[in-house]
């Protein structure tokens, strides 16, 4: 049901491809996995993007221009992400919110730089995205989420404080590898070395060999870097094989289908994520509006919405809605008021002082760990 709805959104968006751009129209793009294995995250992004654009237009648009939304489906595939980025540039978008997966955002960033189009990702956390862009002098790349080194520091310290035998498992993706490496660094800095380090492949379904290795090592906790599908399967199979270790992951498992895949085996799974944006007073009206549309405010919906708020405020600050003006506004050093709180960007395009906390999954949902 989720993937069919997301696919319909993409079709509706691409119908406008090739249409002439009127002076009263402003095209903004959103790129993410609207179909494929990570489509649940794409649906979160699309929900936030659609509501943000509707709310902007209800207030007169951006600098008096009506905003239209152009979506591009990259399926979290790096090659497709480059194609999507080129396609959006060809549609004369003034800015792009996306991509979701770091493995998509990193190669797509080069296209946006070459086109002079600002890109704000609501979810890509690999440090290489902004580190490499800054090293090359690119000015167009930003994120409204934190980085793996900030997230990994929280999970690494937690693991070192609560367990003696910890395993690290990741899915070899840019995101999964990055957050696992940063977690391992933080563990080591706190005096704890992993007793097992393993990698799996995205799309893999049988983890019996990995689970056996974890059991033989007597691990008390498993840190998993990757996305919800493989995480859910790994945890379910681990419980079926009698592994009782606590699983800890990042917000790569922040999707409804994580629980659908793992079932009750997911109970007690820990996860890092910023302080719950759903409880932020600044986002209360948006949370209720999403619910009224039959959409969930969970996951990255509010981060996607916030990225559009940032783009609008940047254009207004610069007095123009062309890509160069929006980049100027984003680079102004000013604060941006959003549904996830006030955001400031550093010279790399990263959020200044991001924070992460630990959550626990129970009964199909997640809540901050007390």
Domains contained in the chain, CATH given: 2-146+279-343 (3.40.50.2300), 148-273 (3.40.50.2300)
> Residue 205 in 3-state DSSP?
coil
Q: Name the token pair of 254.
A: 């922040």
What would the pLDDT profile of 71-114 be if each residue is shown by its tens digit? 999 999 999 999 999 999 999 999 999 999 999 999 999 999 99
**Confidence (pLDDT) at 18:** 43
Return the number of other C-beta atoms located less than 10 Å from residue 193's C-beta.
11
Specify whether the CB–CB gap between 88 and 96 falls below 8 A. yes
What would the pLDDT profile of 139-171 be if each residue is shown by its tens digit? 999 999 999 999 999 999 999 999 999 999 999
What percent of the chain shows pLDDT beyond 90? Answer: 89
Return the number of other C-beta atoms located less than 10 Å from residue 213's C-beta.
15
CA distance 28 to 250: 29
**Confidence (pLDDT) at 8:** 34
**Confidence (pLDDT) at 20:** 56
């Amino acid at each position: 049901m989720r993937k069919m709805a997301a696919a319909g959104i993409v079709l509706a968006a691409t119908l406008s491809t090739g249409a002439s751009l009127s002076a009263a129209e402003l095209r903004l793009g959103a790129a993410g996995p609207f179909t494929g294995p990570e489509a649940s995250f794409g649906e979160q992004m699309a929900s936030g993007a659609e509501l943000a654009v509707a709310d902007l237009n209800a207030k007169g648009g951006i600098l008096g221009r009506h905003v239209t939304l152009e979506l591009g489906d990259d399926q979290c595939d790096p090659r497709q992400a480059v194609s999507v980025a080129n396609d959006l540039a060809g549609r004369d978008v003034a800015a792009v919110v996306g991509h979701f997966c770091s493995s998509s955002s990193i190669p797509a960033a080069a296209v946006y730089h070459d086109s002079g189009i600002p890109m704000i990702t609501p979810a890509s956390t690999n440090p290489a995205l902004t580190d490499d862009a800054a090293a090359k002098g690119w000015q167009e790349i930003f994120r409204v989420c934190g980085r793996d080194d900030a997230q990994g520091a929280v999970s690494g310290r937690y693991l070192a404080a609560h367990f003696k035998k910890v395993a690290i498992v990741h899915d070899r993706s840019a995101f999964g590898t990055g957050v696992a490496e940063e977690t391992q660094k933080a563990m080591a800095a706190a005096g704890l070395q992993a007793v097992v380090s393993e990698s799996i492949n995205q799309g893999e379904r049988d983890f019996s060999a990995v689970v056996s290795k974890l059991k033989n090592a007597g691990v008390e906790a498993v840190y998993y870097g990757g996305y919800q599908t493989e995480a859910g399967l790994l945890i379910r199979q681990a419980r079926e094989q009698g592994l009782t270790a606590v699983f800890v992951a990042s917000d790569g498992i922040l999707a409804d289908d994580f629980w659908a895949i793992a079932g009750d085996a997911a109970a007690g799974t820990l996860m890092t994520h910023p302080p719950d944006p759903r409880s932020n007073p600044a986002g209360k009206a948006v949370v209720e509006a999403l619910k009224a549309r039959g959409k969930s405010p969970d996951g990255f919906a509010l981060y996607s919405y916030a990225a559009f708020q940032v783009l609008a405020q940047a254009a207004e600050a610069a007095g123009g809605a062309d890509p160069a003006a929006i980049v100027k506004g984003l680079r102004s050093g000013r604060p941006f008021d959003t549904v996830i709180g006030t955001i400031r960007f550093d010279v790399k395009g990263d959020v200044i002082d991001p924070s992460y906390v630990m959550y626990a999954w129970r009964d199909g949902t997640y809540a901050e760990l007390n």
